[in-house]
Amino acid sequence: MSRLVLLFALCLLCAVSNAQNPVDPNVNRAPLDTLQNRENLIGTWFLSQKTTKGGLWRVLATLTADGKYTMNFEEYLDGRRIRKYTENGLWGVSGDVHFTITQGGMINGESYEVPPERPGNYLAYRIVALNSSTFVYDSVVSGNRFRSRKVPDDYVFRPPR
């Protein structure tokens, strides 16, 4: 009986290993929409959205053609700013996936670097809609949906309404 179970297990392992999808080594590794998505993302983006706490979350993100980014964050609660910081790093896009790699930032005028082994430095987003003026994307991890609009490169935060 045990030989029959062993034979069955071996057959099952062979079937699983042979059932893998074949790999096409000639497939285009950069989908055609990557170039258009990248071109659309270069520039300055602003978002202002309500938070689950009843406050307001604002982000001003500048994505440059050399693959670097700077993001300024502000969070408001009861009309008062309760958090403000800046982060910077690298960004990219592949098909409908936008990603950032945080390398450092600034809090209260103090610069900081982040260790590359920190998992929270690597963020990925699924692009829902993107054109030259609108960027809608979902966080792969949290599922949060963000809606940004392109603004002039010299745009600065204004007091929230």
pLDDT digits (tens, 9 = 90+) for 65-77: 999 999 999 999 9
> What average pLDDT does this structure show over 2-25?
56
Alpha carbon of residue 64 to chain centroid? 15
For residue 96, the SS3 value is coil
pLDDT digits (tens, 9 = 90+) for 19-39: 577 877 776 666 667 889 999
Cα-only R_g, the chain? 22
HSE-up of residue 80 (Cα within 13 Å, Cβ side)? 2
Residues linked to residue 123 through DSSP beta bridges, in sequence order:
100
Q: Are 101 and 90 in contact (CB under 8 A)?
A: yes
Task: Give the per-residue pLDDT at 123.
Answer: 97
pLDDT of residue 2 exceeding 80: no
Judge residue 54's burial from the number of C-beta atoms within 10 Å of its C-beta, 0-12 exposed, 13-18 middle, 19 or more buried: exposed
